[in-house]
Amino acid sequence: MGAASLASMRRIGFLLLALGIVSSVMHFMDLELRVLRWINTWGEGAAWGIRGGFVALGLGLFALGKPKPETK
């Protein structure tokens, strides 16, 4: 993969990770991000599954998007 693709993967991964964490914290304050309000329509368990999926997928993309060290 090219450097631009890896950088994009890291950005998308960080965004998903941040959305999942912020949504989890805000849930305990009885708030929700407007873009993720739809996840609560499927019930509490599904909403936590989606939040966890965002965190896991975000971590995965962030880790996979790490540039490989150059060999000489």
Q: What pLDDT was estimated at residue 38?
A: 92
pLDDT per residue as tens digits for the range 6-53: 888 999 999 999 999 999 999 999 999 999 999 999 999 999 999 999
Q: What value does the CA radius of gyration of the chain take, rounded to a whole number of Å?
A: 15
Domain boundaries, the chain: 19-64
pTM for this predicted structure: 0.84
Tokens of 4: 């631009």
Tracing tokens 């708030």 back to the chain, one arrives at: 31
Distance from C-alpha of 12 to C-alpha of 59, rounded to nearest angstrom: 10
User: Which stretch of DSSP H or E encloses residue 9?
Assistant: helix 3-27
Distance from C-alpha of 72 to C-alpha of 60, rounded to nearest angstrom: 28
